Amino acid sequence: MTSKTLLWLQSGGCGGCSLSLLNAENPHLLDRLSQSGIDLLWHPSLSESNGPEFLALMESICDGEQALDILCLEGSVMMGPNGTGRFHLLSGTDQPMFHWLEKLAAQAKQVVAVGSCAAFGGITSAGINIGEAKGLQFDTEQPGGLLGEQWRSQSSLPVVNIAGCPTHPDWVTETLTLLAADALHQNQLDEYNRPRFYTDHLVHHGCPRNEYYEYKASSEKPGDLGCMMEHMGCLGTQARADCNIRPWNGSGSCLKGGYACVNCTAPGFEDSRHSFMETPKLAGIPVGLPTDMPKAWFVALASLAKAATPQRLRKNAVAERLIYPPGKEHKKS
C-alpha cells in the first residue's frame, strides 16, 4: 500500500486538539496512522525536525518536490492586524502563516481543519476579534474564510471541518483514515462540511442524565445530578456530536463530568452572549429548545413530565450524589 503523506500545522489556538489526539486509544495514535498507511511528515508535538529542516520541508512541498496528500491545520487563521497576518509570522520566514497555508493548500490533495478554531474561527475569534481570526473556509457560520467558499482540493473536496473544542481523538483518526483510503465523499459531510459520522448524532444521545431530562427533573446549581438544560445552560439537545456515545478514553464526557454542553462543534459557540452555565429564558421557557421540537409541544410535554416526576428523581436531581435508589416511590417531604 502506498503511504499517504500528512503535514500538521498549528496557528491561532491553544493546542488542545493535539493534546486530545495524543490520548487516542485502541489503537494508539501512531499505530492508527501506520495502519491507515499515513506517513506523518511533521507535527509540532511529535516531530524532531529542527527549524531549518522544517522550513526545507515546507519549501519542498510548495515547490512540488515533496508530495502532500493531507494538510491539517489546528487553530484559526490569524489575519490581523488589518489583513497583514503579522500577528502570526512563520518563524524564520518573516511571512504570515496564512500565506504558507494558501500555498500548501494548493499542493495538498485534501485539507482538514482540526477543531472549531481552524474550522470557524472558534475561541480565538470571540468578542471583538482583535486578531481577525477566521477558519480555513468559514468565518463563523459564513462560508468564505481564508480559502473562499468555492475552493476545492485536488480531490474535489472542500475543507473537511472536524469541529470541536477540543476534538475527540476518534473523530480525527477516523477522518484521516477515510481520507487516506479516498473513502470520504461530499455526501458524507454536513452543511458545515463536518463529517456526518459524528454530527448525525446529538450530544443528548446517550446522555447519562436522560432519565432526569425525560421527567424535567432539573439541576439548580453546579454539582447537582439533574438535567442541566432547564437552568444550567446545557445545549446537548441541540449540539451535533456523539460525545456520549463514544466518550473520551471510554468513560469521559462533559456531561459525565458535571459540565453543561456548550455546543462546541457549532460555529459561533464561543459568542453565546450569556454565561455558559446559564439557560436564557423568555417567559420562563428556555430559549434554546431541543432540535426538531416545536415550542408548544415542548411546553405541553414538560408540564406533563414535571407532574409525573417520581420523588426519587426530584430529590436526586438537586443532590450532588445519589440519595434515593430506584425501586419504590418516596413520599414528599
From residue 86, alpha-carbon distances to 78, 118, 249 in Å are 8, 18, 38
Kindly report the pTM of this predicted structure.
Answer: 0.92
pLDDT grade for 197, boundaries at 50, 70 and 90: very high
The per-residue pLDDT for 9 is 98
H or E element that contains 305: helix 295-307
Domains defined for the chain, CATH in brackets: 4-199 (3.40.50.700), 201-333 (4.10.480.10)
Instruction: Report the share of the chain in percent with pLDDT over 70.
Output: 98
Q: C-alpha grid cell for residue 75?
A: 487553530
Find out whether 12 and 88 touch, Cβ atoms under 8 Å.
yes
Q: What is the DSSP letter of 169?
A: H
Instruction: Label the pairing between strands 160-162 and 281-282.
Output: unpaired
Mean pLDDT over 168-189 rounds to 97
Q: What is the mean pLDDT of the chain?
A: 93
Per-residue model confidence as pLDDT tens digits over 114-130? 999 999 999 999 999 99
Find the range with the poorest average confidence among 91-100, 134-143, 228-237, 282-291: 282-291
Burial of 160 (0-12, 13-18, 19+ CB in 10 A): buried
Find out whether 188 and 162 touch, Cβ atoms under 8 Å.
no
